[in-house]
A and B are shown apart, each in its own frame.
Chain A
Amino acid sequence: MTIMEFFGCSFLAFGPPVAMFAITIAKDPIRIIIMIASAFFWLVSLLLSSILWFIVIPLRNVLIFGLVFSVFFQELFRFFFYVLLRKAEFGLRRVTEEDTHINNNRQVLAYVSGLGFGLMSGAFSLVDVLADAAGPGTMDLNGGSEYFLVISAATTLCFILLHTFWGVIYFSALDRRVIWQVVYVIASHLLVSCITLLNQYQQYVLTLIGIYLVLIATGVITFKVAGGTFNSLKRGFMWRPAASINVSAE
């Protein structure tokens, strides 16, 4: 039973992101490099958050303190990565092989870096839970929720997708100097992180509904920012010859 639970939770959390990676990223080495680099930036932001949490001894047990500063560090490092990408843009164009059909425009790179952020944060939040889930026992036989593992997996999936969306919105907002979108990314990141604090009181349903609502809203904004329209969405679901599968916008 616990093995089934382990695989179920793993696939729930990492199935969609891995599919996204396989379909949109894996075929292009440049995108893989960028994804790994962004994942590394997320790790550095986590390191700084941890150092801050470690230094401020009196607030170690106050979850919200570490959480808020961690959000700020993550967004700061998203900005650094944006700056890095913009500086590297010219060089990236030169190393890209001319004859590939892959179009690494700015939005694609934003999406790739967002997914890199998301995958690394997802891995960090779920892997220790999954490691314990594989054993002979399952969660919370006494009192707590036996759905803890499923809820953790769903939360992780939500954060991976959110990071992807935030990446797209943030980068394009910085390109176009749309301040409210930058503020929206930081605010919604803060909001969903704080919603998860409800988990301490076993309000798992509230948490999940809250963060998935934010996910839907963010998804809609991302779609708009990426230039999607109702018609383009419709077109996207229609059959087209394989040769024309491009991530194309603008």
Chain B
Amino acid sequence: MQRLNSLLYFLAFVLFLFAGAEATRTKDRIYAQIEGTAACFRRLNGTHQFGCSSRRTGNVGVLQLLKEPADVTWLTKEAPDDTYMAIVHSNMFNEQTLRALKDSPKVGGVVLLRSDTEENNLASYSPEDSCPNRYSGLSSFEKQLCSDSKPWNPKGSSLLQVDWGFPIFYVHSDTSIKNITDCYVKHNSEREGMTTRSLCAMEMQAFMIAAKDSETCFRRSNMINNLNPMRFCDPMGDRNVWATLFARDASEQEKSVIVLAARLDTTSMFEGEAPGAVSTVAGLVTALATYSLLSEMKTELSPARSGGNVMLMLFNGEAYDYIGSSRLVYDMSNGMFPPKWSNVPSLNISKIRMMIELNQLSQINQSTGAVAPMYLHKTLDNPDIAKFIQSMKSQQADLNLNLLDSTATSIPPVSLQSFVKADANFPGVAITDYDQSFTNKFYHSVLDDVKLLKFKYSNGTAPPSDSIQAYLANLSTALGRSIYELIAQKPYTGTTKVEPTQMNELLHCYLNSLNCSLFHSATNDDFTLPEYPPPLYVGVSNSLNAVTGLSGRLIALLTGAETNSSKEECKLNESDVVRCP
């Protein structure tokens, strides 16, 4: 956990425009606040700083709308004023524009306008590195697994690794977008006489107090020179969420475990705007649904359980050098997982019989009339893996799946890398929608959202058979049955399966609104759930992301059993959550 996140201090965002004749203060006739924005913020690693910051007092500049490449040229070459705020339409928001703006001394800030209609015009936009997590996992600074000539993320522009000299804001509110464009059209669109008349300008404040690198920032934070020490930065991090199908009591000590894993976090350039639909949510909900299916099969499974236990593992912070999985591996190798105080027998990495990881899943690669392919990346060949793959493939005709063996020569940038790094013979399979490079052209961006996944919430009705809900539900069913076969060591003969409607609800919670029926059932009534989709950026370790706790409760809801114990009996720790019907 070398990287740090700066504290976001100011997100206020002011546009100077007239607010109507009824204004009571002179100020209101000069300035208007822009609502519905998200700021790009600063992050640090051991050697560098990345991201954006404004000056302490904010950056002010004249609005300039960039609709076509000619506008960028005009702004950087001919524009008469000293400082401009570049308002970039989403169809222009790409590496080329941003790098041109960064190099121009005239640009004091950048605003990205979200547009629902023009989004499809953008062919690709991924601010992530072309080799995600280039220096961690199985790779290192000296030994690179991923090469720039054949990268995993070919559309990656590494914009997340750039230290912008100015603030960048993302505006998603329609009224704010309208205010900004109206003000621009009214005052600034005419290029004649710009130097002699009043122009529409904007002030951006997103000052970050963290600077230089992690070491410097920590040293500054730990310097006690007055009674009120200042924190300049916090380490990034959150919690992993895990659960086991059968309680791990002392008798489980020697039994092996099949780990069903997915990641819980994603990232983007903007605070609070990290939807990660394809990169994270699709795999996450598939893992949850699979685990929930296994718990339904639990009664059939338990008598014949010779093959061990099943563990659901949701990793947090994987976008930043595998924070979650590398910590888990570290704890496992030190006999600290699960933690000693929990009185659960510790789990060693050698006891993991196999890890099945669900990474990016989507129907992006679908050709008309066919089923979108899924690729199985295995770390090595062993009987368990062969059996699992054979079992999965035997179901694909029934469940309308299209499973292919990956032709990639190395392990993709997934959490499995942390395990293989610790144990070269670690058995694992990653299921993804890509073969040798990502099909997701918006990886780790604000546009990796519900529209990219093509998810349409069908309220009350069954989702169509070619929908993403049905697709992921079928995958869950296949996974659940294959894992059953591995554990029970006999073919599954029942009919239990994951319904597309369940997948529909799960996706709705993670992609549309936290205030959904599943999270509602999983929380106490005094828990207020906001109406927006959860941002899946990992955040800083001392403030947990809401979705981490909610996912834990959701697992309890989907797989937990009701007991007759009283509230007091159940509540062993202060932090335990006990839900009363």
Contacts and interface: CB of A to CB of B under 8 A. Distances in A.
Most buried by B among A132, A133, A135, A141: A141
Most buried by B among A138, A140, A144: A140
A60 to B, nearest CB: 12
Contacts of B60: 136
B520 interface: no
B25 A137 contact: no
Interface in B158-202: 183, 186-187, 198-201
Contact of B201 (A136, A140, A143, A148): A136
B435 interface: no
A28 interface: no
Given A128-B26, A132-B26, A139-B26, A144 B31 contact: no
A154 interface: no
A16 B186 CA distance: 38
B187 A141 contact: yes
Given A142-B183, A144-B21, A146-B198, A137 B26 contact: no
A200 to B, nearest CB: 8
Contact of B183 (A129, A133, A141): A141
A143 B18 contact: yes
Interface string A30-44: 000000000000000
Interface string B275-317: 0000000000000000000000000000000000000000000
Nearest to A200: B21
Contacts of B183: 141-142
A132 B198 contact: no
A133 B26 contact: yes
B370 interface: no
Interface residues of B, number: 19
A137 B31 contact: yes
Interface in B6-28: 16-18, 21, 25-27
Most buried by B among A133, A136, A143: A136
A200 B146 CA distance: 68
Given A136-B16, A136-B203, A137-B16, A144 B198 contact: no
B21 A141 contact: no
B62 to A, nearest CB: 11
A132 B25 contact: yes
A133 to B, nearest CB: 7
A132 B29 CA distance: 10
B197 to A, nearest CB: 9
B18 A142 contact: yes
Contact of B30 (A128, A138, A143): A138
B111 to A, nearest CB: 17
A141 B25 contact: no
Contacts of B30: 132, 135, 137-140
Interface in A31-76: none
A138 B183 CA distance: 14
Nearest to A138: B198
B17 A141 contact: yes
A133 B25 CA distance: 11
A142 B32 CA distance: 11
B205 to A, nearest CB: 12
A121 to B, nearest CB: 18
A237 B520 CA distance: 87
Given A135-B30, A135-B31, A146-B198, A140 B18 contact: yes
A35 B325 CA distance: 77
Given A136-B60, A136-B201, A136-B203, A142 B17 contact: yes
A6 B415 CA distance: 60
A196 to B, nearest CB: 15
Contacts of A142: 17-18, 183, 186-187
Nearest to B29: A140
Nearest to B58: A136
Nearest to A149: B26
Contacts of B27: 132, 135
B119 to A, nearest CB: 29
Nearest to A130: B26
A120 B185 CA distance: 42
Given A129-B26, A146-B198, A141 B203 contact: no
Given A132-B25, A133-B26, A138-B30, A144 B18 contact: yes
The 6 closest A-B pairs by CB, nearest first: A142-B18, A137-B16, A132-B26, A137-B30, A132-B27, A136-B60
Interface of B: 16-18, 21, 25-27, 29-31, 60, 183, 186-187, 198-201, 203
20 contacts: A128-B26, A129-B26, A132-B30, A135-B27, A136-B60, A136-B203, A137-B16, A137-B30, A137-B31, A137-B201, A139-B29, A139-B30, A140-B18, A140-B29, A141-B186, A141-B198, A142-B18, A142-B183, A142-B186, A144-B18
Given A135-B27, A148-B26, 13 more contacts: A128-B26, A136-B60, A136-B203, A137-B16, A137-B30, A139-B26, A139-B30, A141-B186, A142-B17, A142-B186, A144-B21, A146-B198, A148-B29
